[in-house]
Amino acid sequence: MYQIHETQLSARAQAIVPSLIREASRYCTELGALNLAQGLPDFAAPEFLKEAARTAITQDHNQYCDTWGLRPLREALAAKLQRDNKMVVDPETQITVCCGATEGLNLALMALLDPGDEVLVFSPFYENYRPNLAMVGAVARHITLTGPGWEVTEEVLERGFAGKPPKVVIVNNPANPTGKVWTRPELELLARYCLHHGTYAITDEIYEYIVYDGAEHISLASLPGMAERTITVNGFSKTFCVTGWRLGYTVAPAALSDGIRRLHDFLTICAPAPLQWAALAAVESGEDYYHGLRSLYQAKRTLLFEALEKAGFAPILPRGAYYIWTDGRVLGAANACEAAHKLATLAGIAAVPGDCFLPINQPNQNLRFCFAKRDETLQAAVHRLESLVALSS
Ligand SMILES: Cc1ncc(COP(=O)(O)O)c(C=O)c1O
């Protein structure tokens, strides 16, 4: 066996720091802690979807399929986009089915960016954006938003677009880890800056159906002038509790789609064929399904939020997605990584340290908790948080 020396790795590979989220899951198993770190449900995927996947495999949809995505799936997605996102798109030229929103984001970045190009990223941001930008050699321009509102104002965008405007802005709506749901005035303001400066937008809308307290999810591409300069990235992982299926899609104007498709073809050829047939059943779900999903997560949010508040973590109530952003100073650790470790060893709960959602070396004590868990898991976490309070008082 030969060994690869660090020095033989490309600069691109060396720039990637291993995921703190997946590391938290690893030590969680070692310590037997409850995993509130990684953003995946610990409950079953919907039966109708599993049945549809079994049927597709039995019917032998087991070979490569249309590289751009099954035609009936793209057509169903176009109908959904028109109904729910107010986006009118041609499934033949504008929708590309790929391996998760993760592939979709990478395709979008590769299609638009060259080394050295600048990308506006609102902080805190989803962990993947940093390595994804490193992979294309792009440079992040971080603009920090402030909780609990995480508002995007004219002053924020003046800073973001100062000097040479960024080539791309990434919008995660609803956002991980903050739960921010962009309001229409915020999106309109951003659209104004993008149109004025010729900046493209890449939107990550993977949590579009998971919003609370009547918050409305709006797609940036539905705003006047933005369809021409937005790549919308989405997927099935979160809405349908199938993070392991690796199914996502991009929506872009035909000229950008062309670039995305060239890249996708030679990266993965196509997304898993039988699961695309099953996804067709998912896209055809009615409002009842989405309503059920929102109610399910709203109750889980309340359960964990109240326990975190009582335990002194100063949680910020998310308006969307399924994470709670907190301040871990109550644990009395030196930094967020130590706080996460202390929480895992003292209380048997794994959370993700803030470092991977913030610009490099930004001192912080933040912890992100995921509540996409069975009620038993969350109840156990509530008890452990109560014991933690008892221990420190
Ligand atoms: C904001 C955001 N985008 C994308 C993803 C990954 O989506 P997928 O499973 O479709 O690759 C995640 C997963 O946690 C996420 O939180």
Q: Are residues 274 and 305 in the same domain?
A: no
Range of the domain at 266: 60-283
Q: Are residues 270 and 147 in the same domain?
A: yes
What is the enclosing helix (H) or strand (E) of 120?
strand 118-123
Q: How far is the CA of 392 from the centre of ligand 1 (A)?
A: 36
The number of folded domains in the chain is 2
CATH number at residue 294: 3.90.1150.10
Q: Is 346 among the domain residues?
A: yes
For residue 236, which atom of ligand 1 is closest to its CA? 10
CB 318, CB 212: distance < 8 Å: yes
Q: Are residues 203 and 101 in the same domain?
A: yes
Q: Is 243 among the domain residues?
A: yes
The pLDDT of residue 17: 84
Q: Are residues 261 and 342 in the same domain?
A: no
Domain boundary (236, 258, 283) is at: 283
The residues of the chain scoring below 50 in pLDDT are 1
Residue 107 CA to residue 267 CA, distance in Å, equals: 9
Q: Are residues 129 and 272 in the same domain?
A: yes
Residue 318 CA to residue 168 CA, distance in Å, equals: 26
Pocket test for ligand 1, best of 38, 99, 205, 238 (most atoms within 8 A of CB): 238
Q: How far is the CA of 39 from the centre of ligand 1 (A)?
A: 8
Q: Are residues 67 and 113 in the same domain?
A: yes
Q: Which of 24, 34, 20, 10 is nearest to 382 (CA)?
A: 34
Q: Point out which residues pair with 183 in neighbouring strands.
A: none
The pLDDT of residue 281: 93
Q: Are residues 128 and 272 in the same domain?
A: yes
Domain boundary (234, 266, 283) is at: 283
Q: How far is the CA of 101 from the centre of ligand 1 (A)?
A: 6
Q: Is 1 among the domain residues?
A: no
Q: For the CA atoms of the chain, what is the radius of gyration? A: 21
Long-range contacts of 49-52 (CB under 8 A, 24+ apart): 49/240, 49/242, 49/278, 49/281, 49/282, 50/278, 52/277, 52/278, 52/280, 52/281, 52/282
Q: Are residues 279 and 300 in the same domain?
A: no
CB 372, CB 300: distance < 8 Å: yes
